[in-house]
Amino acid sequence: MDELINKLKKEVITQLNLEDISEDDINPDSPLFGEGLGLDSIDALELIVLLEKNYGIKIEDPKDGKKIFHSIRTMAEYITEHQKKA
Amino acid sequence: MTSMKPIYINGLGSVSPQDMANSSRFLSEVKRSQSNRLACIEPNYREFISPDILRRMGRLIKMGVASSRICLEDAGCMMPDAIITGTGLGCLEDTEKFLTTLVRNREELLTPTSFIQSTHNTVSAQIALLLKCHNYNFTYVHRGWSFESALIDSLIQLRNGQASTVLAGGMDELTNVSFAITQRLGHWRRKPVETLELLKSTDRGSIAGEGSAFFLLSSSQSPRSYAELAEVYTFNRKTSGKALQTILLDFLERSGIKPGDIDLAVCGINGDTSSARPYKELADNLKNAGIAAWKHLSGEYQTSSSFGLWMASMIMKHQLLPEVAVIRKSEERPFNTILLYNHYLDLNHSFILIRKP
């Protein structure tokens, strides 16, 4: 899990072009949106594409997004769960 | 000639291949390079834009926002009544990114950021968003006179009293892809050239360039005023024979001046022998005027006349013609009336007349 979390941190920083933020600055349990990293709706779309492109995961129900993208850890858990099912 | 409300240039801001960080130096140190393209000397954008907003911006947006900020600060204006821009090709970097992803991913998995930022009006929109300015906002995309179209609309807004201040600008960026395509079309020198010697050499092709320049136009004169923006005129056809002479003389007559009144003609001479004739014809018709040029300093691009107007405004305010810009000297006299003439591929021609306020 830790390995995936670190990988995800790198990918999120690159995908969202988060200048001035390093992997160490991201707490895997902090919220990605609002407080924490302060991401917005455009970033949410970027993260949806990231999951599909890098992990082959398509989010079927948009309502799940809030839970999946709560933090880096919830994203990692969702990916792990999805990969087990596959 | 009809008497029209005078409009003043009260502030300037530019990001260009020349060092604009300190405008008081006004081209005292120019960039010298051996190349067939010129890239902007970009400022530290963090001085103008917060990092969370900066991360989504392409290069042209950053250049546009930074130069608009410099301009507003120079004019001491917090909130313009209108933002009007002109761009020939818009945000190319983001357009290329979006289209490349579209092709590579077979029209799937497209990310929104580059698409959102790829539209031509992104620069004026971002300026408005950052200023929280809900006023008139317009972008003109008219090839080689996009910037002039923005100026014409600005004059209409100001003269009709719909605005008392307008932030007007022109901007274009050069990317590797756009350079390669236009190189194939024969627009640029095949071999690198000493850029400051460009206008002395006789060969086909110019040097590619890029930049962003903004002007705070106002219906009120201020102690900061650089010049009065008296008139802007565009025409869109190839010139031949005496066509340019007729158009020039008509324009001057409508503006209430004679050829001998022009103290300096600032021309878009770009070193390409195939585009030199109209400039020579203009110079022949303005025998008493000095001739200056700017494209060896900025490179050629659709909105390079915005750099030309920046330079002309600086010449007027400081009553100083930098040696590096001189093509033909005239007898010593003050710069009270300056005519800027530019053409893009002998298709999009423009005259911009400025006077001492």
- Select from A38, A45, A49 the Cβ nearest to the Cβ of B52: A38
Rounded CA gap, B113 and A42, in Å?
A: 7
Structure confidence by residue, pLDDT tens digits, B142-189: 999 999 999 999 999 999 999 999 999 999 999 999 999 999 999 999
Q: Given a cut of 90, is residue B233 above it in pLDDT? A: yes
Residue B12: which of B342, B308, B356 has the closest Cα? B308
Kindly list the distances between the CA atom of residue B115 and the CA atoms of A46, A72, B100, in Å, as whole numbers in the listed order: 12, 26, 11
Read off the DSSP letter of residue B195. G
Output the pLDDT for position A83. 84
A46 vs B116: CB contact, 8 Å cut-off? no
Contacts of B78 (CB under 8 A, 6+ apart): B72
B109 vs A45: CB contact, 8 Å cut-off? no
- Select from A16, A18, A52 the Cβ nearest to the Cβ of B109: A52
Contacts of B171 (CB under 8 A, 6+ apart): B60, B63, B64, B67, B85, B86, B87, B123, B211, B212, B213, B303, B306
Residue with more model confidence, B266 or A37: B266
Does B53 reach chain A within 8 Å, measured CB to CB? no
Helices (H) and strands (E) in chain B, counts: 11, 13
Instruction: For an interface test with B, give the residue of A20, A32, A55 to mutate (most B CBs within 10 A).
Output: A20
> Which SS3 state, helix, strand or coil, does residue A33 take?
strand
Q: Decide whether B8-218 matches B231-355 in CATH topology.
A: yes
Burial call B200-224: b when 16+ CB within 10 Å, e when fewer? eeeeebbbbbbbbbbbbbbbeeeeb
Mean pLDDT of B119-124: 95
Min Cα distance B261 → chain A (Å) is 54
Query: Does the domain at residues B231-355 carry the CATH identifier 3.60.20.10?
Result: no
B55 vs A16: CB contact, 8 Å cut-off? yes
Question: Nearest-5° angle of CA B289, CA B295, CA B300?
Answer: 135
Q: Are B282 and B244 in contact, with CB atoms under 8 Å apart?
A: yes
Min Cα distance B174 → chain A (Å) is 22
For residue B178 the two structure tokens come to 């756009």
Output the pLDDT for position B17. 95
Q: Is the dihedral of CA A16, A19, A20, A24 positive or negative?
A: positive
A15 vs B111: CB contact, 8 Å cut-off? yes
Residues 66-85 of A with CB under 8 A from B: none
> Which SS3 state, helix, strand or coil, does residue A20 take?
coil
Q: Where are the beta strands (DSSP E) in chain A?
A: none
Mean pLDDT of B50-73: 94
Min Cα distance B97 → chain A (Å) is 13
Residue with more model confidence, B207 or A19: B207
pLDDT band at B24 (very low <50, low <70, confident <90, very high): low
pLDDT band at A37 (very low <50, low <70, confident <90, very high): confident
Q: Is B2 left (phi over 0), alpha (psi -120 to 50) or beta?
A: beta
Contacts B54 to A, Cβ<8 Å: 19
Contacts A49 to B, Cβ<8 Å: 109-111
Mean pLDDT of A52-79: 91
Looking up tokens 């400039």 gives B279
Output the pLDDT for position B2. 52
B16 phi and psi angles, rounded to 5 deg: -150, 180
Does B110 reach chain A within 8 Å, measured CB to CB? yes
Output the pLDDT for position B250. 96
* Amino acid at position B211, single letter: G
Rounded CA gap, B293 and B307, in Å?
A: 11
Q: Given a cut of 70, is residue B22 above it in pLDDT? A: no
Residue B11: which of B229, B211, B161 has the closest Cα? B229
Q: Given a cut of 70, is residue B1 above it in pLDDT? A: no
A45 vs B111: CB contact, 8 Å cut-off? yes
Kindly list the distances between the CA atom of residue B248 and the CA atoms of B49, B279, B282, B284, B328, in Å, as whole numbers in the listed order: 42, 12, 8, 12, 19
A46 vs B51: CB contact, 8 Å cut-off? no
Min Cα distance B83 → chain A (Å) is 25
C-alpha dihedral, B175 to B177 to B179 to B183, nearest 10° = 180
Rounded CA gap, B177 and B238, in Å?
A: 28
Mean pLDDT of B292-321: 97
Does B113 reach chain A within 8 Å, measured CB to CB? yes
Does A42 reach chain B within 8 Å, measured CB to CB? yes
pLDDT band at B19 (very low <50, low <70, confident <90, very high): confident
Q: Where are the domains of chain A?
A: 2-85
Architecture of domain A2-85: Orthogonal Bundle (1.10)
- Select from A19, A46, A52 the Cβ nearest to the Cβ of B113: A46
Does B101 reach chain A within 8 Å, measured CB to CB? no
| CB atoms inside a 10 Å sphere around CB B310 | 28
Contacts of B312 (CB under 8 A, 6+ apart): B227, B264, B266, B338, B340, B352, B354
Output the pLDDT for position B154. 98
Output the pLDDT for position B321. 95
B111 vs A16: CB contact, 8 Å cut-off? no
Q: What is the predicted ipTM?
A: 0.81
CA B30 from centroid of its chain's CA atoms: 18
Supply the CATH classification number for the domain B8-218.
Answer: 3.40.47.10
Q: Which residue stretches of B105-145 are H helix?
A: 112-117, 122-131
Does A53 reach chain B within 8 Å, measured CB to CB? yes
Output the pLDDT for position B23. 52
Contacts of B187 (CB under 8 A, 6+ apart): B205, B206, B208, B272, B300
Rounded CA gap, B20 and B15, in Å?
A: 6
Q: Which helix (H) or strand (E) holds A13?
A: helix A2-15
Q: Where are the domains of chain B?
A: 8-218, 231-355
Average pLDDT score over chain B: 94
Output the pLDDT for position B181. 96
Rounded CA gap, B45 and B81, in Å?
A: 25
| CB atoms inside a 10 Å sphere around CB B50 | 10
Q: Which residue of A has its CA nearest to B57?
A: A17
